[in-house]
Amino acid sequence: MDEIASARMLLNGTHILLIEDNPANQMIARHLLEMVGCRADCADNGQQAMEKIIAAQYDLVVMDVQMPVMNGYETARRIRSKLKFRRLPIIAMTANATQEDRQRCLDAGMDDFIAKPIYQDQMYLILAKWLPDKKQLEEIKQELTDSQHNHAFININALRHVLNNDNELVRKFSRKFIQVAEETLSEIETAKKHRDIKSMGRLGHKLKSSARTLGAHHFAELCDGLEIAGADNDWQQAEQLSNQILASFEHIKRQIEQTLLKNG
């Protein structure tokens, strides 16, 4: 669990080119990338991909193998033929998992494989492994372990890692989190008064991902529990979790104000 959480945080803010000709597969893969804060550009084939790679700077290329116009093998060879892209990580997405298929990908210049159908945690782990400037993985994993000893608080150092130690961006994100969380918690309380359990679950989902980015992992787990309780129509669990979420947020807000926002 710690390793997956670390991978999610490492991927936050990365710029990824997703090359996939199937619109449904493209939609799913892009959604999974954006869930962890990636900025994903899309191309429908290798020819479009080459134009985008030349025009922009990407941290990773994630590419289907079977595509029209220019397939994944040829695209990888074209990318590798240019000196400035020799170190750009290229990850294949393929339903063909035989050793022969994998070797063909490697021979074309790709670095790794994501099997189809895509399982999100597996994808995050593979992508994070190939990020070019992610030597802090073990440090972040340790930060996550340490943060578990105090569930109600945020993991400030992990947040700083995610935002490249940009203190102004850390403060800006923290202020925004407080604002959104206060508004959402107010909506949860209103939904609770009306015994609108479906809305409570939806609002729990709304808070979950930003809480994880902040490093408030226990808070995120509570929100995840509220989402599940809403889906299961479990009123007792939803009411209990909403109270815990509110109490946990007060601790988080206090820590943000004391440690992140004290200097403006």
> Average pLDDT, stretch 85-101?
80
DSSP string, 39-53: EEEEESSHHHHHHHH
> Average pLDDT, stretch 141-155?
51
CA 258 to chain centre: 27
197 pLDDT band, cuts 50/70/90, is very high
81 and 155 together in one domain:
no
Range of the structural domain that residue 216 is part of: 138-260
Where is pLDDT greater, at 151 or 111?
111
Domain end call among 129, 158, 193: 129
Q: What is the pLDDT of residue 86?
A: 80
Cβ neighbours for 1, distance < 8 A, ≥ 6 positions apart: none
Query: Is the model's pLDDT at 151 over the cut of 50?
Result: no
How many Å apart are CA 27 and CA 249, to the nearest integer? 33
195 pLDDT band, cuts 50/70/90, is very high
87 and 193 together in one domain:
no
Q: Which of 26-40, 58-72, 163-177 has the highest mean pLDDT?
A: 26-40
> Average pLDDT, stretch 232-236?
91
- Phi and psi torsions of 54, nearest 5°: -70, -35
121 and 163 together in one domain:
no
153 pLDDT band, cuts 50/70/90, is low
CATH number of the CATH domain containing 255: 1.20.120
Cα four-point dihedral sign 129, 132, 138, 140: negative
Query: Is the distance from CB of 216 to CB of 153 less than 8 angstroms?
Result: yes
Single pTM value for the model: 0.51
Q: What is the pLDDT of residue 148?
A: 47
State the amino acid at position 93 in one-letter form.
Answer: M
170 pLDDT band, cuts 50/70/90, is confident
Q: Which of 22-31, 71-80, 230-239 has the highest mean pLDDT?
A: 230-239
Domain end call among 129, 150, 183: 129
138 pLDDT band, cuts 50/70/90, is very low
160 and 115 together in one domain:
no
18 pLDDT band, cuts 50/70/90, is very high
154 and 235 together in one domain:
yes
Sheet-wide strand order for 39-43? 39-43, 15-19, 60-64, 90-94, 112-115
87 and 160 together in one domain:
no
103 and 81 together in one domain:
yes
Residues in the chain: 264
253 and 219 together in one domain:
yes
Q: What is the pLDDT of residue 216?
A: 83
